[in-house]
Structure 1
Amino acid sequence: MGLRINQNIAAQNAYRSLSVSDNQMSKSLEKLSSGFRINRAADDAAGLAISEGLRSQVGGLKVAVRNAQDGVSVVQTAEGALNEVHSILQRMRDLGVQAGNDSNNDEARANIATEVSSLNDELKRIGNSTNFNGTNLLDGTAGAAGDGKMKFQVGADGDANSQIEVDLSSANVKDIADSLSAKTVFAAADLPAMGNIMTFTDGTNNASVTFAAAPADVPATVAALNLDADFTANFVAAEDADGNLEITSRTGKEVTGGTAAVPDDTFGNTNVAAGDVTYSGMHFRNADRAQDAITALDGKISQVSTARAQLGAYQNRLEHTINNANVAVENLSASESRIRDTDMAQEMMSFTRSQILTQAGTAMLSQANQSQQGVLSLLR
């Protein structure tokens, strides 16, 4: 073989092999220190794309689990309040049954009406105050649309299958309380007969309102009555869905009305045609009214029972969703780990091999560099 000094092929060969071994050892060190088999796209382009997709699903599912847990908390908050609503309605019904007995005198019936009215006020308070993170749950305004329907993102994807809608509209305690409030409705046709001086009483409180002339229609009557301080101290006027005059006593008692010209100031309905006065909600003036109240309360108790059953079903569904999402997180994390994580034992073998090759290559490069020193002996 010729002795050449411009090109040391043996040294170049040793250097090339040493560079490869050193590069492999560096990659092994990176994988062993990070715990990841894929640290950059060049390590495994396809594997990186798959693992990033799995990471998105795992991260989304973990947040979805927290969302579902919030949903369970919302349902539990609403159902807990409805438990007390049930207790209040049952007490109201007991009072209604008591009022259905004619052994009660007017004073006893008035006391029953007072307690029922107070309980109904508590229903209104519960309906207006029960909330979760500032969102009212039992007044029919929950949800982005204000229709009592709340949506919970319980999946990692952006489709309808990743959401659960919780309908709280049937648990509208505010409407329940409003519908149970004692209301007396005077037919619009009777307004002229009531004249320009109207009087109302709930048996305890009286109000007399004088108009410059007989009101032209129900809206004008409602506006005038609600502007009178004597009237609004104990009563509220409104127009019902059928366009009639609706009077509610703030004490929750039955209201009667008529003109100031009623003989002996009895505040009776003497100037109103028979059958043109209707009552809704809870009245206890007599046994028949009490039975109507019992029937109304039975309907509301059934409504709340249905709402609570529905909330219980929602809670069970959300809890199953949480369990399913947690299993999915576990399995997807395992899949991502198989693709992206380093097999430490296997990588340690590769590192040891690369380390030995690097050490051997360094030694051989030194030997290759020394091999050309023989040329100097020819030049002496």
Structure 2
Amino acid sequence: MTSILTNIAANSALQTLNTINNDLETTQGRVSSGFKVSRAADNVAYWSISTTMNSDNKALNAAADALGVGAAKIDTAYSAMESAIDVVNEIKAKLVTATESSTDRSQIQLEVTKLQEQLSSIAQGASFAGENRMVADGVTTGVVVDGFVRSATGVAVTTATYDIASYALFDSINSGVGTDGTDHY
């Protein structure tokens, strides 16, 4: 007869080592990938959620970039408008000075003309990413990304529309001089 001697303690230790080895492989996989669930076989539900979140994160980054570009466009127009207000205030001061009888009105007119040219230059230089919100130049509206929405049907980037034709400082710039300035106010 044949007898196989088994060592119960050795078998138990071998099972423990196999379990530790499997757990170590799992842990190493998580450390190397950076994910607790790196593939669908690990946990289908978590993997699906993780994949959706990664996709949304990339979409959010793209939306954040678009928001940054939109903010820069608006900031450029805002800075130009502040500069234009300063020039218009100088023109107003020159006109008040021209009401005095002892002033040289031809000299004041020359200064006002130079300030008008400066105003045209400010409007013309207020361009960012190919858009100028200070000179309409045939463009009626501008669009800026203003948000990101996730719904049951998918993801979408939302936009805001700006009426450039109504609020631009000039309709066009011809030979360096702004024409048909805003008369909405």
Answer yes or no: same fold by TM over 0.5.
yes
User: Residue 163 and residue 40 in structure 1: after superposition, are their counterparts in 2 closer, same or farther (change >3 A)?
Assistant: same
Residue in 2 that maps onto 1:136: 132
User: Are the counterparts in 2 of residues 126 and 173 from structure 1 also a CA contact under 8 Å?
Assistant: no
Report the TM-score when normalising by structure 1.
Answer: 0.37
1:336 aligns to what? none
CA distance in 2, matches of 1:149, 1:54: 31
Does the 8 Å CA contact 2:141/2:161 hold for their aligned counterparts? no
- State which drifts further: 54-63 or 39-48: 54-63
Residues 325-336 of structure 1 aligned to structure 2 (within 5 Å): none
Q: Distance in 2 between matches of 1:113 and 1:31?
A: 76
- 1:149 to 2:142 alignment: yes
**Deviation string for 1:267-293 (max 9, x for gaps)?**
xxxxxxxxxxxxxxxxxxxxxxxxxxx
Shift of 1:20: 6.6
Structure 2 length as normaliser, TM-score? Answer: 0.68
- Opposite residue 150 of structure 1, the aligned amino acid is V
- Separation in 1, partners of 2:41, 2:23: 14
2:116 aligns to what?
Answer: 120
Tell me how far apart the structure 1 counterparts of residues 156 and 26 of structure 2 sit (CA, whole Å): 41
CA distance in 2, matches of 1:97, 1:175: 27
Q: Which has the higher helix share?
A: 1
Residues 68 and 152, structure 1, Cα contact 8 Å, conserved in 2: yes
The secondary structure found in structure 1 opposite 2:56 is helix
Question: Which is higher, the Rg of structure 1 or of structure 2?
Answer: 1
Q: Which has the higher contact order (CA 8 A, sep 6+)?
A: 1
For structure 2, list consecutive stretches of 5 or more residues without a partner in the other structure: 173-177
TM-fit CA distance, 1:51: 0.8
Percent identity between the aligned chains? 22
**Equivalent position of 1:159 in the other structure:** 156
> How many corresponding residue pairs?
170
Unaligned runs of 5+ in 1: 181-298, 304-380
Paired residue for 2:175?
A: none
Could you tell me how far 1:85 is from its partner in structure 2?
0.7
Q: CA deviation at 1:153?
A: 5.2
Query: 2: distance between equivalents of 1:35 and 1:129?
Result: 48
Please give the alpha-carbon distance, in whole angstroms, between the structure 2 residues aligned to 1:28 and 1:92: 73
Deviations, residues 109-142 of structure 1 (Å, cap 9, x unaligned)? 333332222221222222222211343231125x
Distance 2:31 2:114 in 1: 72
Q: Does residue 62 of the first structure (1) align with residue 40 of the second (2)?
A: no
When the two chains are superposed, the root-mean-square deviation of aligned CA atoms in Å is 3.8
